[in-house]
Structure 1
Amino acid sequence: MLHNRRDWQAVAYLVALPVLVAWQWRYGWHPFAYAVTLFLTLGIGVIHHHHTHRRMWRGRRLNRLTDLWLTLLQGHPTFVFYPAHVANHHRYRHGPRDVARTYRFGGDSNHLWGYLAHPFQAVWVLYPLFLGWLSRLRRHHPGAWRYCLLQYALVTALWAGLAWLDWRQWLLLVLIPQLHGLHWLLATNYLQHAHADGRSRLDYARNFEGWVNPLLFNIGLHTAHHEHPRVHWSELPALHRSYRARLHPALNAGPLVPYMFRTFIASVVVPRWRSRSLMRHEET
């Protein structure tokens, strides 16, 4: 049923997250289970991303059910990836027409405040894209428009039902983890593109290696993904090796966590670790 058997890892994440939430709802909050829950919200965002580019299942019905399941787990409709990511980010590759380009908001930066603020800045400019997309769907594809509204309705019904059962449990076990996952989904754009060159043929994205890739479906290999958006995520490591030597050395950033510590925290006291823009001219 799956196009690629490696996607059983994604299926495992899609099942494990609600099981962990249900277990804690029944037996009480547990620090290890909650930490895994928060990690799985990152995985759900990556699965959503990959499922948008390349559908997981051979059958349309299973793909539609996966859309709805991701909607419930993520706390936000899955349709938003088309106008925000495919039609915008992949089309313009962090260039001047990419509405969520990191250097749009207060100049070309790569620091802790920029990372924390970027999800809120991105939502502000992306939601008009969502609304415009829905408006065009309503005029030209009313069936697809109703399908998108169904996703909103499912999230609203889930939140209302769980909050009615126990609003404290809903807040702790459902809403906060979902917001955590959505933050990372949006903030990843900053990690992968801040101080990259949005006008370059290849130096528009940063790449991460290490454990982030086997755990999160090779999400760190961003240049290879941009250059081959329809390729299955399991093929990205081989493609990444073909691009690695052609990129500016600063864009091969190594493991994700050390990069974040070095760039966002340690650079405050160690100037040589501060990120430097590859853009020739900043844009505000």
Structure 2
Amino acid sequence: MAKLTSFRWSDNPEPHKARTKEIIQKHPEIRTLIGRNPYTLLVILLCVGIQVVLSYFTKDMPWWAIFVVAYLVGAFACHTLYVCVHECSHNLLFKNRTLNTIASLIANLPQVFPSSISFTKYHLKHHSFQGVEAVDADMPFRWEAKLINNAPVGKALWLLFYPVFQALRPLRLTKEIKIFDAWTVVNWIIQIAFMAAVVYFFGAKGTVYLVASFFFSIGLHPLGARWVQEHFLTHGDQETKSYYGPLNTVNLNVGYHNEHHDFPSVPWNKLPKIRKFAGQYYNTLGYHTSYTVLLFQFLFDKKISVYSRMARDNRGKKKAEKATGTTETVSEQE
């Protein structure tokens, strides 16, 4: 089978704005779901506490046990914190933007690397310009896709080092976002101080536990299949898929991705109600029910590669606005 050599290009706008407008017209009750969930802060504190406690206990464990605990426990806690940072980026905890930013800094602590502030900057661009290479940091680089393509070993390495690729992508958004600002500096200072304390009090093993948890949480792990689930073309030309499986219970409904893109101002605990209210729109779309199955499908199905993404140029944004008559049907919360 011939290798893919480019992304799949579309002249159509991303699908979410038009669908949002149609759904909200037929199901205005969905507007009642828009709001915030301040109790997400308790989830953040719980997961941060779990990671700090396990970092302490792993300092006396054999090396093999550290990686087992990181894979089976730490990855889940760390991924949930990643989702919490995502909620903060949409201001879905508090009305005050600064409080959301502070909450994201707390959630970032066990994730080792300072990333919560930069994530907020580029993630909101992803919602507005889905698939536009120059603006959407969720889109792989062309060299990245060419390097990995569809070989199982290459795709496994891509997932293993996904945090590295993800960290490089925002660099192409320098014309769109300010990479460094005061909050970014604060993020770096807090993160360096926290990790210095971990190294000092918990030593090498406690530190390695946190690093391994982070890499597993968004890398070569069933949880890493989330990146394939969300926007890889695993169901024809459908560029956004949801996941309706058991891990939504521990990962704050992060799988409801079509629902989230359609209504980004609805907090995680109410996302399933969107599907309940407007099931005729979501039940007919392709979706996944197992991250483990999807992980192996991605690794060994040669029809799927890092090129399996829908790409578009900036005209997609203009067409979307023309089609819907608005730039934001359900706007981001201020």
Q: TM-score, normalised by structure 1?
A: 0.72
Quote the Cα distance in structure 1 between the aligned partners of 2:225 and 2:255.
Answer: 13
Which residue matches 1:271?
A: none
Which residue matches 2:173?
A: 129
Deviation readout 1:27-66 (Å, 9 max, x if unpaired): 5465675421222111111111112113324666754442
Preserved contact between residue 159 and residue 170 of structure 1 (Cα < 8 Å): no
Which residue matches 2:91?
A: 54
Q: Pick from 199, 207, 223: which aligns with 2:242?
A: 207
Preserved contact between residue 54 and residue 231 of structure 1 (Cα < 8 Å): no
Q: Pick from 127, 149, 157: which aligns with 1:90?
A: 127
Q: Are 1:260 and 2:295 an aligned pair?
A: yes
Deviation readout 1:52-85 (Å, 9 max, x if unpaired): 1133246667544422212322222311122221
Q: Are 1:12 and 2:46 an aligned pair?
A: yes
Q: Pick from 119, 124, 128: which aligns with 1:81?
A: 119
Preserved contact between residue 245 and residue 289 of structure 2 (Cα < 8 Å): yes
Structure that is richer in helix per residue: 1
Match of 1:106, SS state, is helix
Q: Pick from 38, 56, 61: which aligns with 1:22?
A: 56
Which residue matches 1:234?
A: 269
Which residue matches 2:204?
A: 168
> 1:224 offset after TM fit, Å?
0.8
Deviation readout 1:262-282 (Å, 9 max, x if unpaired): 3424x46xxxxx559987999
Q: Are 1:106 and 2:145 an aligned pair?
A: yes
Larger mean Cα displacement after TM superposition, 69-78 or 178-187: 178-187
Q: Are 1:244 and 2:278 an aligned pair?
A: no
Return 5+ residue gaps in structure 2 as ranges.
1-34, 314-334
Match of 1:217, SS state, is coil
Match of 2:243, SS state, is strand
**Which residue identity is paired with 2:158?**
A
In 2 relative to 1, CA 187–123 (structure 1 residues): closer, same or farther, beyond 3 Å? farther
> 1:216 offset after TM fit, Å?
0.6
**Which residue identity is paired with 2:227?**
N
| Greater RCO (CA < 8 Å, at least 6 residues apart) | 2
Quote the Cα distance in structure 1 between the aligned partners of 2:204 and 2:304.
Answer: 41
**Which residue identity is paired with 1:117?**
W
Q: Pick from 242, 257, 261: which aligns with 1:222?
A: 257
Quote the Cα distance in structure 1 between the aligned partners of 2:121 and 2:251.
Answer: 23
**Which residue identity is paired with 2:145?**
G
Match of 2:249, SS state, is helix
In 2 relative to 1, CA 242–161 (structure 1 residues): closer, same or farther, beyond 3 Å? same
Deviation readout 1:183-207 (Å, 9 max, x if unpaired): 4798743432122699x7xx32122
Quote the Cα distance in structure 2 between the aligned partners of 1:262 and 1:125.
Answer: 25
Quote the Cα distance in structure 2 between the aligned partners of 1:152 and 1:217.
Answer: 26
Which residue matches 2:187?
A: 151
Which residue matches 1:181?
A: 217
In 2 relative to 1, CA 81–102 (structure 1 residues): closer, same or farther, beyond 3 Å? same
Quote the Cα distance in structure 1 between the aligned partners of 2:43 and 2:173.
Answer: 32
Deviation readout 1:147-199 (Å, 9 max, x if unpaired): 3201101212222333344542244222222333354798743432122699x
Quote the Cα distance in structure 1 between the aligned partners of 2:103 and 2:312.
Answer: 41
Quote the Cα distance in structure 2 between the aligned partners of 1:161 and 1:131.
Answer: 36
Q: TM-score, normalised by structure 2?
A: 0.63
In 2 relative to 1, CA 279–82 (structure 1 residues): closer, same or farther, beyond 3 Å? closer
Preserved contact between residue 209 and residue 254 of structure 1 (Cα < 8 Å): yes
Return 5+ residue gaps in structure 1 as ranges.
138-144, 269-273
Quote the Cα distance in structure 2 between the aligned partners of 1:263 and 1:278.
Answer: 10
In 2 relative to 1, CA 106–122 (structure 1 residues): closer, same or farther, beyond 3 Å? same
